[in-house]
Amino acid sequence: MKNIAIFASGSGSNAENIIRYFQNHPYVRIDSVWSNKKEAYVLQRAHNLGVETKYFTREQFSGSDQMIKELQNRNVDLVVLAGFLWLVPPEFVDAFTIINIHPALLPTYGGKGMYGSFVHESVVRNQEKESGITIHLVNKEYDKGEHILQVKCPVLPDDTPDTLAARIHELEYKYFPKAIEDFLSRVWSA
């Protein structure tokens, strides 16, 4: 069995979708959902689905090895970032394999401050013809790790940031859990 810890800062619709996808899965288990925001709706969603939830502070995340030890004690094999907004500290990157989803076609529209609606606002403002999602490994720089999967979608002339966000979310729901599953079977069966 491979254990996943999900990190998320916001609403958590991707986290919920991933939890549902892996319910009763033969070799993947969602161990826990972690958030740096006490009030984040993701914690409620996870709790409703019977997944253990954890809140953590910046000091716990980057000031000590407490969280790393706890995740290792829980036998977490993979950390999945699903709308998680802090830069992951180097010691974390060294300790775990980490996968992130970004709501644009990296390397464009990535980096510090480029998340969620800010990404879609920039894409619409620049009248891009296409956007999409990038699922990638996390390294020590924002949005710079090796790509696992990119999927494109059109940006329509009358799109607003909200209509584009909805289209991108649909792509995320369709591709993110499967990409995680494929990654796990590829890496751990090798």
Residues that bind ligand GAR (CB under 6 A): 8, 10-14, 82-83, 101-103, 115-116, 119, 168-169, 172
| 120 in catalytic set | no
Nearer to ligand GAR, 38 or 189 (CB): 38
Q: How far is the CB of 190 from ligand GAR (least distance, A)?
A: 27
Spatial distance between the Cα atoms of 23 and 21, rounded to a whole number of angstroms: 6
Q: How far is the CB of 101 from ligand GAR (least distance, A)?
A: 4
Nearest residue to ligand GAR, scored by beta-carbon proximity: 83
Nearer to ligand GAR, 93 or 119 (CB): 119
Nearer to ligand GAR, 64 or 118 (CB): 118
Among 25, 47, 102, 120, which one carries the catalytic annotation?
Answer: 102
- Give me the sheet containing 97-102, strands edge to edge: 52-55, 28-35, 2-7, 78-81, 97-102, 130-137, 147-154
